[in-house]
């Protein structure tokens, strides 16, 4: 079994998308080509970190610590707090932007200058917004890690704010074009950050926010319920187990178009020229056999149906051929519709008795003397009997 490095959100997502790409990145440590939009995101995050860092009032209450807490009022009561001294001017912020800028990964000078202008505009607008609604961050770009019920996880969190209610709000900046409320509600990234903050801070998490910088819109979601976090823990567990078992199968899909490792991937590797002719013949033969198989399958089905119609008309079940006897058999199965069953069971508080709607499950309920007979009758009536006919061949040599 392989050792598993702590999983970040992006490592987890990469493995889910394609385990082989995960191996190229996290085991073989192959570099990826830089991309302009990633560079852009990194630069903006870095300037925002510099901008907001002076506002940070660190939480005195880290999980597991028992020192006396310093309150927010106490911080502000001291003249010359870091926030008062070092809050950046607009010019300082733009200077930081110029200093941090990188042209790595842009496909042209025109693309780079478009992104550069966009970044400047985003930062200026966000600065204005911050001046009007100054947040109370307790951390920026904080690296947190924990073992979540056996799974090592970590992440860099853009910002953790204190809320007026005394809890914490996790903020993740997004420079992407489109973002919706559903993204905030369903983001596994925010769920993982909630777990990291809950394990590392003593204060409760009161909110999760994706901050859409292009529209200055905070997309807010409530903290996840325990059941939702359990779902993420299961998914992380599957990734963790896969990595431990060194299960690194390629999983092709649309994401391959932005994968830098196609020349190493068996899904895209070309057959060596010396083997080309032999394998081409094998593929042609396979294709011909598959076509024949499909043709035989549909001919078999048509013949069985014709035999069945004739047997029905004549009322016979055994039909003799030259060498074999075709015997008609029937198979019966009861089927119950969950759509009809659910309302009945819910109103009687018996939903848990029939979770999958399998005939066995429903029949157990129908035969249960402890269940109201009227309900049992209604449940039984939701079923329909399905009859399936099929043919078997028997040796005909013993029949005259």
Residues at the contact surface with ligand SF4, assessed by CB under 6 A: 18, 20-21, 250-252, 255-256, 259, 261-262, 265, 267-268
Q: Least Å distance between CB 248 and ligand SF4?
A: 9
Q: Least Å distance between CB 62 and ligand SF4?
A: 39
Q: What region does 205 belong to: left with phi over 0, alpha with psi -120 to 50, or beta?
A: beta
| Partners of 208 in beta bridges | 170, 221
Q: Least Å distance between CB 290 and ligand SF4?
A: 24
Of residues 159, 207, 170, the one with CA closest to residue 51? 159
Residue 316: Cβ-neighbour burial (10 angstroms; 0-12, 13-18, 19+): exposed
SS3 210: strand
Which of 56, 259 has the CB closer to ligand SF4? 259
Which of 24, 173 has the CB closer to ligand SF4? 24
Which of 14, 191 has the CB closer to ligand SF4? 14
Which of 195, 239 has the CB closer to ligand SF4? 239
Work out whether strand 383-395 and strand 217-221 pair parallel, antiparallel, or are unpaired.
Answer: unpaired
Neighbours of 309 (CB within 10 A): 10
Q: Least Å distance between CB 234 and ligand SF4?
A: 23
User: How far apart (Å, rounded) are the C-alpha atoms in residues 233 and 291?
Assistant: 45
Rg (CA), the chain: 32
Which of 265, 311 has the CB closer to ligand SF4? 265
The DSSP result for 349-382, as a single string, is T-GGG-SS--HHHHHHHHT-TTS-HHHHHHHHHT
Q: Least Å distance between CB 303 and ligand SF4?
A: 43
Which of 262, 342 has the CB closer to ligand SF4? 262
Q: Least Å distance between CB 241 and ligand SF4?
A: 19
């Amino acid at each position: 079994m392989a050792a598993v490095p702590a999983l970040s959100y992006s490592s987890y997502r990469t493995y889910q998308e394609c385990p082989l790409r995960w191996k190229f990145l996290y085991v073989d440590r192959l570099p990826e080509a830089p991309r302009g939009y990633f560079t852009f995101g990194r630069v903006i995050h870095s300037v925002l970190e510099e901008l907001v860092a002076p506002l940070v009032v660190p939480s005195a209450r880290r999980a597991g610590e028992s020192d006396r807490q310093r309150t927010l009022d106490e911080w502000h009561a001291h003249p010359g707090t870091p926030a008062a001294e070092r809050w950046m001017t607009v010019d300082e912020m733009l200077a930081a932007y110029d200093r941090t800028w990188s042209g790595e990964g842009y496909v042209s000078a025109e693309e780079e200058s478009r992104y550069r202008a966009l970044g400047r505009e985003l930062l200026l607008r966000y600065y204005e917004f911050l001046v009007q609604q100054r947040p109370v961050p307790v951390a920026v770009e904080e690296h947190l890690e924990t073992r979540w019920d056996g799974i090592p996880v970590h992440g860099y969190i853009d910002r953790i704010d204190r809320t007026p209610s005394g809890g914490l709000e996790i903020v993740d900046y997004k420079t992407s074009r489109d973002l919706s409320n559903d993204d905030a509600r369903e983001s596994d990234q925010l769920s993982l950050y909630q777990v990291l903050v809950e394990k590392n801070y003593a204060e409760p998490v009161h909110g999760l926010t994706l901050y859409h910088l292009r529209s200055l819109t905070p997309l807010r979601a409530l903290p996840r319920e325990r059941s939702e976090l359990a779902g993420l823990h299961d998914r992380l567990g599957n990734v963790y187990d896969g990595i431990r078992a060194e299960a690194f199968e390629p999983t092709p899909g649309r994401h391959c178009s932005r994968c830098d490792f196609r020349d190493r991937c068996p899904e895209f590797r070309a057959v060596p020229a010396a083997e080309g002719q032999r394998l081409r013949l094998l593929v042609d033969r396979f294709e011909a056999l598959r076509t024949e198989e499909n043709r035989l399958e549909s001919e078999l089905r048509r013949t069985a149906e014709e035999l069945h119609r004739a047997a029905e008309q004549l009322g016979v079940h055994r039909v003799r051929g030259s060498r074999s006897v075709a015997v008609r058999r029937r198979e019966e199965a009861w089927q119950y519709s969950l759509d009809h069953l659910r309302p009945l069971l819910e109103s009687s508080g018996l939903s848990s008795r029939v979770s999958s709607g399998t005939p066995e499950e429903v029949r157990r309920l129908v035969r249960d003397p402890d269940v109201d007979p009227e309900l049992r009758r209604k449940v039984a009536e939701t079923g329909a009997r399905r009859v399936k006919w099929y043919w078997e061949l028997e040796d005909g040599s013993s029949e005259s």
